Chains A and B, each alone.
Chain A
Amino acid sequence: MRIIGGKVYDPASGLDGVVKEICIADGRIVAEAAGGRTIDATGMIVFPGGVDVHTHVAGGAINFARAMTPEDHRRTQAFIRTQTGRSGLGGMAPTTFATGYLYAGMGWTTLNEAAVPILSAKHTHEELRDVPIVDKSCLVLMANNEIVLDLLEAGEIERAKQVVAWQIWASKAYGVKAVNPGGVAAWKWGKDAKQLDDPIEGYNKLTPGAIVSGLAQIVEELGLPHPLHLHCNNLGAPGNISTTLETMRRLEGRRAHMAHLQYHAYGGDDWSTMRSETVALAEYFNAHPNMTTDAGAVLFGDTVTITADGPWQHLLYKLTGRKWGNLDVENETGCGIVPYTYRPSNLVNAVQWAAGLELLLLIDDPWRVFLSTDHPNGACFWRYPEIIQLLMCADFRRDCIAKLSPQALQRITLPELDREYTLYEIATITSAGPARALGLPQKGQLGVGADADLVIYEEEADIARMFGHPRYVIKGGEIVIEDGEIRATPHGREFLVQPGYDETIEGFLRPLFEDCYTMSFENYPVELERIEQPEIRDCIAVE
């Protein structure tokens, strides 16, 4: 296949709107190709396929959210079964097949499920198998795993490393996620752990700070391609900027990905004085190249919030009085689900909306800040084109800001920001940057040898429409979307890592399982055969 005449935006190769021919053979970008279809992309723009570094699309939590929101199923977009596509529903928590169609439908071809307990990893992989077209990876939850926490408390960092490595492979994950370190373990006692030096209920000397630095060290020593993926303590609370900055200080010298930073960027003492503190946060972030982040941007409208941060979800339920689901995942983590509506008239929501955009605009290096809504928490992923429009059009942004209350305007910085993203920068934050952060060199780029995942947009003034309705989406060299129609639904691959570990660690883990878990040790790990098209990535060599 050849694509001719299109303006190519490929930040990994430094191509900024250069008209260039792209050739595809055997699912990869090649220097030359003979025969096959030729797509005339004259007047169109060509991007590498989008990469979502942080989303929640499969597993127990999102499935709970689907079950909890039948009202959304009745009003949402329905996918009717066709010769190429399966049936499903869109909406706040799309069903598995619809998730694949919706992601591919706007040009995203790789996604990273950001929170998987080992106990529900089989379920998650079964669902990921049913998300067509896109390639996938997932991160395993570790920061409240009681076996790991016990070892960290005892100072047995080497054994903790062996356990983490075993658990990554047992869950067939790609990396490690830390959610509210220690806070979810404390939630089992009805408590939380908001500050890094707070004691954790149920432990003698372990603190969230020790978990953060311990896990960051372990991830680095294991050489995982993606650094520790961290959801900080004290999410969503006024004044949490101090916790976030302190967490970043503890991580100095180590790589880390700060998840949905918008939710950790607030000043003020309580809900009535809450304000955006993105300027201070971005200033610190800009000066510390060891970190990447995704915005966790918020858009106004209905959604459903899901997170392993059980105590926060209980607070959100108390604040809103809406439905609340809670899952306690044995010795590993927790989970909470609360449907939520972000309203521009709500002062807190207005600050959240602005803070997400501010971070994207204030962080200088687009290679380190990525587009996300922490789907479905800030907004559903299929609303990404709306955020792109807000980033690219300062006038449109001002029109939206004008709808906020005067009180909200006093608490945000967004009205002072005139920056407009270029197409090159959009390609960076949606594709090239997240692919690099995930350690997937064949993704997010259009150089020779890369996976032939790309998207062709017809250039038009309406940015949101342009990014929401690509003319062509090509995945693995196959046209999957053409003129808004699904043409093919190939299975995606799943990326895994197999960090090395001492196999005698199973002798340590087995009795703990037999004492504490409701399932047998033999049934715990996910079999490799359960993964659709697994691709085991190499770990980084560590000296």
Chain B
Amino acid sequence: MSILTLTLKDQLAVPLEAEALSPDALGHLSLDEVRAVPLYLGKRRRRIDELFDVAGQPGDELHLRGDLHRVKWIGRGMTRGRITVDGNVGMHLGAHMKGGEIEVRGDAGDWIGAEMTGGFIRVRGNAGGQAGAAYRGSMAGMRNGTIIIEGSAGLEIGMRMRRGTIVIGGPAKDFAGLQMKGGTIVLLRGAEIRTGAWMVRGTIISLAPLPLLPTFAFACSQNPVFLNLYAKRLKAWGISLPYAPHEGCYDCYSGDASAPGKGELLVWRPA
């Protein structure tokens, strides 16, 4: 497979607008054409080869190296291929993406996978807030696809998401699942306050106790059958989700009654 490798030459002092860094935009170009692709460093137009060492062969795989925490919009709207990043990335990674795969071996900024409709994003480190969220004013956040953040995550994870799956390995901050309309958020180490506020549908699963809003009502304790399917799917990504009755059960809460909503919060209670 052809792999194009871009290595950041110097630390960036201002944000780099890099929606061109995706297999869709670069995969069909020659190496010389890739070098000449314009990016905006702050308000200044720069060529890719002014900022990155370019090597390899353009194709369906893009490999980025360096501390890219000021590089925004990587993989925006991508439909195919794979991006791997050795280092940190900035905001809006994979926003609006429709397909393909992104893996970050480092930390990521805010708004990763915002309003995505398909594809797969995996962040090995921590991420900022608003992963899979709706941009301000939009009716819906991510509509499909998967986001896995192995570390911690910031505010408003999955805000207004309609479908898809978000898994957070570390602790999440406030308002996870804010105004959620569908889909699933799995919190392996719980979240801070106001989880599921104004959610109308969808499922939030937490393996750690959650400080619940008073507008969530306890419904029952159970081991939902559908979690078997989820557990198998997550296992393929190396994530363990308990579901067997002898291990414990889930306390199920419904809400948010202030919306009013029919969402469900499943909080794991070990046996």
Q: List residues of chain A with CB under 8 Å of any chain B CB.
A: 68-72, 74, 322-323
Q: Summarize B's interface: helix, strand, loop or mixed.
A: loop
CB-defined contacts of A74 to chain B, threshold 8 Å: 135
Total contacting residues, chain B, CB less than 8 A: 5
C-beta contact mask, B137-156 vs A, less than 8 Å → 1, else 0? 11100000000000000000
* Assembly CA distance A323 to B137 (angstroms): 9
**Would you list the 8 A-B pairs with minimal beta carbon distance, nearest first?**
A70-B137, A71-B137, A71-B138, A70-B136, A69-B137, A71-B135, A74-B135, A68-B137
Closest Cβ of chain B: how far from A93's Cβ, in Å?
Answer: 12
Specify which chain A residues have a CB less than 8 angstroms from the CB of B135 in the assembled complex.
70-71, 74
Q: How many angstroms between the C-alpha atoms of A259 and B81 in the bound complex?
A: 54
Give min CB distance, A108 to chain B, whole Å: 28
Pick the most buried of A68, A70, A71, A323: most chain B CB atoms within 10 A of its CB.
A71
Question: In the complex, how many angstroms separate the beta carbon of B188 from the nearest chain A beta carbon?
Answer: 32
| A72 CB contacts on chain B under 8 angstroms | 137
Bound form: Cα–Cα A71–B138 in Å: 5
Residues of A close to B138: CB separation below 8 A: 71
| Given A71-B137, A72-B137, A74-B135, 11 further pairs, Cβ under 8 A | A68-B137, A69-B137, A70-B135, A70-B136, A70-B137, A71-B135, A71-B136, A71-B138, A71-B139, A322-B139, A323-B137
Kindly supply a per-residue 1/0 record for chain B positions 91-110, scoring 1 wherever the CB is within 8 Å of any chain A CB and 0 otherwise: 00000000000000000000
**Nearest residue in B to A68 (C-beta to C-beta)?**
B137
Q: Which of chain B's residues have a CB closer than 8 A to the CB of A71?
A: 135-139
A337 to chain B, nearest CB (A): 13
Q: Closest CB-CB distance, A398 to chain B, in whole Å?
A: 33
Question: Chain B: which residue is nearest A73 at the CB level?
Answer: B137
* Chain A, residue nearest B136 (CB): A70
B181 CB to nearest A CB, Å = 11
Query: In the assembled complex, which residues on chain A have CB atoms less than 8 Å from the CB atom of B137?
Result: 68-72, 323
A-B contact pairs, 14 of them (CB 8 A): A68-B137, A69-B137, A70-B135, A70-B136, A70-B137, A71-B135, A71-B136, A71-B137, A71-B138, A71-B139, A72-B137, A74-B135, A322-B139, A323-B137
**In the complex, A159→B221 CA distance in Å?**
72
Which residues in A have their C-beta under 8 angstroms from that of B139? 71, 322
- Residues from chain A with Cβ under 8 Å of B136 in the complex: 70-71
In the bound complex, how far is the Cα of B212 from the Cα of A11, in angstroms? 69
User: Within the assembled complex, what's the spacing in Å between the Cα atoms of A95 and B101?
Assistant: 38
Nearest Cβ in chain A — how far from B1, in angstroms?
34
The proximity string for B residues 37-53 relative to A, scoring 1 for CB distances below 8 Å and 0 otherwise, is 00000000000000000
> What residue of chain B has the Cβ atom nearest to residue A70's Cβ?
B137
Q: Name, among B135, B137, B138, the residue most crowded by chain A CB atoms within 10 Å (CB to CB).
A: B137
Q: For residues 120 through 164 of chain B, which have their beta carbon under 8 Å from a beta carbon of chain A?
A: 135-139
- Residue interface mask B192-220, A partner, CB < 8 A = 1: 00000000000000000000000000000
Determine the chain B residues whose CB is within 8 A of the CB of A69 once the complex forms.
137
Closest-by-CB residue of B relative to A321 is: B200
CA distance A69 to B138 in the complex (A): 8
Q: In the complex, A404 Cα to B137 Cα: how many Å?
A: 30
Nearest A residue to B140 via CB reads A71
Chain B residues lying within 8 Å of A323, measured Cβ to Cβ, are: 137
How far does the alpha carbon of A417 sit from the alpha carbon of B138 in the complex, in Å?
39
- Which of chain B's residues have a CB closer than 8 A to the CB of A70? 135-137
Closest to B134 in A: A71
For the complex, what is the distance from the CA of A322 to the CA of B135, rounded to whole Å?
Answer: 16
Bound together, the chains give a CA A70 to CA B134 distance in angstroms of: 12
Min CB distance A338 to B, Å, is 13
Question: Which residue of A is nearest B200, CB measured?
Answer: A321
Assembled-state Cα–Cα distance A74/B136 (Å): 10
CA distance A71 to B139 in the complex (A): 8
Least CB distance from A246 to B in Å reads 39
Question: In the complex the two chains form, what is the Cα distance from A443 to B135 in whole Å?
Answer: 44
Q: How far is the CB of B4 from chain A (nearest CB, A)?
A: 29
Nearest-neighbour CB distance to chain B for A212, whole angstroms, equals 38
Q: Complex: how many Å from CA A71 to CA B137?
A: 5
Chain B residues contacting A68 (CB-CB under 8 Å) are 137
Distance in angstroms between the alpha carbons of A70 and B137 in the assembled complex: 5
* B38 → chain A closest CB, angstroms: 16
Q: In the bound complex, what is the Cα–Cα distance between A460 and B136 (angstroms)?
A: 42
The minimal Cβ–Cβ distance linking A458 to chain B, given in whole angstroms, is: 36
Of chain A, the residue at the smallest CB distance from B259 is A321
A462 to nearest B CB, angstroms?
31
Q: How far is the CA of A69 from the CA of B137 in the complex (A)?
A: 6
CA gap between A68 and B135 in the complex, in Å: 13
Q: Which residue of B lies closest to A75 (CB)?
A: B138
CB distance from B139 to the nearest CB of A (A): 7
Closest CB in chain A relative to B219 CB, distance in Å: 24
Q: Residue on B with the closest CB to A341? A: B139
A322 neighbours in B (Cβ, 8 Å)? 139
A385 CA / B141 CA spacing, docked (Å):
34
Whole-angstrom distance between the alpha carbons of A72 and B138 in the complex? 8
A323 CA to B134 CA, complexed, in Å: 14
Distance A72 CA – B136 CA, assembled complex (angstroms)? 10
- In whole angstroms, how far apart are the Cα atoms of A18 and B248 in the complex? 87
User: Given the complex of chains A and B, what is the CA–CA distance between A372 and B199 in angstroms?
Assistant: 39
> What is the minimal beta-carbon distance from B142 to any residue of chain A, in angstroms?
15
Mask of B171-183 contacts with A, CB within 8 angstroms, 1/0: 0000000000000
Q: What separation, in Å, do the CA atoms of A56 and B136 have in the docked complex?
A: 25
Please report the C-alpha to C-alpha distance between residue A69 and residue B135 in the assembled complex, in whole angstroms: 11
A416 to B75, CA, bound (A): 52
- The smallest C-beta distance from B259 to any residue of chain A, in angstroms, reads 10
Listed residue (A68, A69, A74, A323) with the most chain B CB atoms within 10 angstroms of its CB: A74
